Amino acid sequence: MTEIEEHGGVATASAADAPTEQLPPVPPGPGSAAGPDGDGAVGRLSSLETRDLSAWFGDHKVLERVSLTMAPGEVTALIGPSGCGKSTYLRILNRMHEMVKSAQLAGQVLLDGADIYSPGRRPADIRARVGMVFQRPNPFPAMSIYDNVVSGLKLAGIRANKARRDELVETSLTQAGLWIEVRNRLRAPGGALSGGQQQRLCIARSLAVEPDVLLMDEPCSALDPTSTRRVEETIADLRGRLTIVIVTHNMQQAARVSQSCAFFLATHDTPGRIVEAGPTRQLFEDPQDERTSDYVNGRFG
Amino acid sequence: MTLIDIATSSGATGEGTAYLDAATGQVRVRPGAITTADIGTLAGAAVGALGLVWLVYERIMPWSGALGFWLCWYVMFLVFYWGIARTQWEARHVREKLAAAMFTGAGVFVLVVLVDLIAYVGWRGEKAIGHGNFLTTDMQKTGPLDGLNSGGILHAMIGSLEQLGLATLFAVPLGIAAAVFMSEIGGRLARPVRTVVTAMTALPSIVAGLFVLGSVILTLGYDRSGFAASLALTVMMMPIVTRAAEVVIRIVPNTLREASYALGGSQWRTVWNVVLPTARSGLTTAVLLGMARAVGETSPVLLTAGFSSGKNSNPFSGQQVSLPLYVWNYVRYPQENMKIRAFGGALVLMAIVMILFVAARMAGGRRPGELSRRRRRQMARDRVRIAATHPARPQAPAVTPAPTAAAIIHPEPEPAS
């Protein structure tokens, strides 16, 4: 921590102009809930908010009073160095945090204003509304591409007739940008696809249960640049249709895909907390905090 | 293609061959190939050792016996091999060759023993199998002095298959359920369960027989029958299925369970739809291991099934013989024909095991990647359906126009927006 602050004084001098040269244009209008493309907005969009959220693994505190609002229909990026608690934060948002036995938390997670941790709410129902895409593509190897896409129905115990399933497979795969590539081999095993295709299959699988929110935990970190581009295009397509929260180590990616951004930071003796959050453009071009400026300009982390 | 031995040109290692590729004019080298020097060394050592051991056994010492002869030969072969190799190659290389020869020798030894075993049973049993009545009749009307054209093993085959089928029916659901409990649910009880199951894998089979004899037959008053035998076999099978199934369920990646939970799946549905199908091939092996154990058991069957020389297809009533019991019973007769019948029974037992294994492999052993015939049919139907609905049907809404095939292969750079 002290090192960062020492460098910080030097860093800020150049920080103001540095990002503008390397950043691609950032889409305008964070805060406008409908999103830029009105055509894709179907149904209502859900908002997600955390209030004073803290988390522990056993006695080890990993998050300290995180308050953040993720606007409906927007892409919110969580950035920060490894071990700053952003993945934990993401897993709290769909109750995957409690899969670890020693996990505890305090504070509120509000999905459309209602706390998802209030007593009586079933984790499975929350997870069906808040989907998740993982770091490593994990299609079910025993299932075909087709079955992978509709696996959410089976797992959640939703019955659907054949025509409905066919339609769902097509729309989900189209939304995930994979339909054209796989439509002639839908019964081939999901594991036979390339890494990038597998990840888009996982996105399609999450979309097939028609979630209100999609969480993505470093979805491109195991992919090559071309596949990364395809996944980013998919995220751009999905914007405005559902609320997306993405954790990424790649700051260019955060700048490309997100409208809002939150910078997490932890040190060896303090738990992770949000240093700065706001519109992505502001965070990258005019960060208010020295540490944010250092991080987005690649001076640490 | 001229073969050039590069042992001479490449010096000490003596590995690899090279030949002139006429088409390109290049010398193609196969560094891993077996050279004439390799074969010569092996053959020389083998023949030399054989000669020396023969001389010692037949001419010098008063020793005899095939086992000792071949043991001495193997030891001498290794010594000769080392000696001959040492004259050509450096020490480290020779050590490697010698180790390879020893391991190959061990593998060949196991194979020879196995083939010998099967061949011996086949040779002894072949006379019985040759008679058509052997597979189609029972021993009801056959006495010890009757020829091989009378009597057979039909009743024992029926008994074996019924007892094994019932035992599999009981043991597999129990075993897999226990494995799912230990690996997926766990908790405080998992450890003692695992300990007990592990201990049960080492249970002497006669104890399993005694247990069923004491509990089902003597206490509950149930008659000796195929059903009672299948209970004893279940006791033998279940721990093996459980242990093997637990291992294969454990290696299902946790990321798949997470993916299932993240889709809103309950634990039960995750196990049923994701974990067990992913582990299917391994579970088949687990079941096979259990069946292989059960099909050859004699002592629990001896105590619980009784013995009958006639056909009894009802496992729930009356005594019922199985193949191992048939073999055990008739091989003790002094008459040669009875012994031949016993070996014939053993041969059929081995054949049944092999058929079961092949059938189970075909049914459940498909690797996750392979397509079943049903899947291929579905794929063909999909093509027809998609061809019918496209391109008449517009692509689902997308911000950018739906990518063409060309655009996927060569995506154009576009402004991020």
Q: What CATH number does residue A149 fall under? A: 3.40.50.300
> Domain limits at A176?
55-296
Whether residue B42 is found in the same domain as residue B57: yes
Given a contact cutoff of 8 angstroms between Cβ atoms, the answer to whether A148 and A159 are in contact is no
Distance from CA of A218 to the nearest CA of B (A): 14
Distance from CA of A300 to the nearest CA of B (A): 26
* Residue B336 domain flag: yes
Among the listed residues A8, A111, A108, the one whose alpha carbon sits nearest the alpha carbon of residue A67: A108
**What CATH number should be reported for the domain holding residue B265?**
1.10.3720.10
Q: Which of residues 193-212 of B touch A (CB under 8 A)?
A: none
Whether residue B193 is found in the same domain as residue B312: yes
Q: Which of residues 230-259 of B touch A (CB under 8 A)?
A: 253, 255-256, 258-259
Find where tokens 């037959």 sit: B217
Is the CB of B270 inside 8 Å of chain A's CB atoms?
Answer: yes
Whether residue B168 is found in the same domain as residue B316: yes
pLDDT tens string A28-62: 433 333 434 434 444 578 899 999 999 999 889 99
Whether residue B181 is found in the same domain as residue B273: yes
* Residue A183 domain flag: yes
* CB atoms A209 and B375 under 8 Å: no
Whether residue B212 is found in the same domain as residue B295: yes
* Residue A165 domain flag: yes
Q: What is the pLDDT of residue B369?
A: 52
Is the CB of B401 inside 8 Å of chain A's CB atoms?
Answer: no
Provide CB contacts within 8 A for B125, sequence distance 6+: B340, B343, B344, B345, B346, B347, B348
Q: What is the pLDDT of residue B207?
A: 92
Q: How far apart are CA B249 and CA B196, in angstroms?
A: 19
* CB atoms B263 and A181 under 8 Å: no
Whether residue B25 is found in the same domain as residue B42: no
* Residue B394 domain flag: no
Whether residue B101 is found in the same domain as residue B13: no
Whether residue B205 is found in the same domain as residue B332: yes
* Residue B299 domain flag: yes
Q: How far apart are CA A40 and CA A134, in angstroms?
A: 25
pLDDT tens string A145-170: 999 999 999 898 888 888 899 999 99
Whether residue B98 is found in the same domain as residue B223: no
Mean pLDDT in each 10-residue stretch from start to end of chain B (417 residues)?
Answer: 48 62 82 83 92 88 83 92 90 90 91 93 88 85 81 90 94 95 89 93 91 89 89 94 94 93 91 92 90 89 87 85 91 90 92 86 64 74 74 46 44 43
Whether residue B68 is found in the same domain as residue B177: no
What is the three-class DSSP state of B29?
Answer: strand
* Residue A21 domain flag: no
Provide CB contacts within 8 A for B95, sequence distance 6+: none
Whether residue B30 is found in the same domain as residue B68: no
The DSSP line for A213-252 is EEEEESTTTTS-HHHHHHHHHHHHHHBTTBEEEEE-S-HH
Q: How far apart are CA B148 and CA B134, in angstroms?
A: 8
* Residue A92 domain flag: yes
Q: What is the pLDDT of residue B257?
A: 93
Is the CB of B273 inside 8 Å of chain A's CB atoms?
Answer: yes
Q: How far apart are CA B289 and CA B142, in angstroms?
A: 35
* Residue B243 domain flag: yes
Name every chain B residue with its beta carbon within 8 A of the beta carbon of A233: 400
Q: Percentage of residues in chain A with pLDDT exceeding 90?
A: 42
Mean pLDDT of all residues in A265-270: 85
Q: How far apart are CA B105 and CA A50, in angstroms?
A: 68
Name every chain A residue with its beta carbon within 8 A of the beta carbon of B375: 144, 187
Distance from CA of A269 to the nearest CA of B (A): 30
DSSP letter at B12 equals: G
Among the listed residues B387, B129, B389, B105, the one whose alpha carbon sits nearest the alpha carbon of residue A184: B387
* Residue B372 domain flag: no
Q: How far apart are CA A58 and CA A142, in angstroms?
A: 35
* Residue A166 domain flag: yes
* Residue B319 domain flag: yes
Is the CB of B145 inside 8 Å of chain A's CB atoms?
Answer: no
| Domain count within chain B | 3
| Domain count within chain A | 1
Tokens encoding B359:
């059938």
Q: What is the pLDDT of residue B4?
A: 53
Residue A28's Cα: distance from chain center in Å? 20
Given a contact cutoff of 8 angstroms between Cβ atoms, the answer to whether A290 and A12 are in contact is yes
Q: What is the pLDDT of residue A279?
A: 93
Residue B348's Cα: distance from chain center in Å? 18
* Residue A237 domain flag: yes
* Residue B277 domain flag: yes
What is the three-class DSSP state of A78?
Answer: strand
DSSP letter at B39 equals: H
* Residue A67 domain flag: yes
At residue A24 the predicted structure's pLDDT band, cuts being 50, 70 and 90, is: very low
* Residue B101 domain flag: yes
Q: Compute the half-sphere exposure of residue B113: CA atoms within 13 Å on the CB side of its CA.
A: 6
Closest to A156 (Cβ–Cβ): which among B263, B376, B383?
B263
Residues for chain A: how many in total?
301
Residue B118's Cα: distance from chain center in Å? 15
Is the CB of B375 inside 8 Å of chain A's CB atoms?
Answer: yes
Ranges of H-type helices in B365-398: 373-389
Q: What is the pLDDT of residue B34?
A: 80
Whether residue B345 is found in the same domain as residue B277: yes
> Domain limits at B76?
37-117
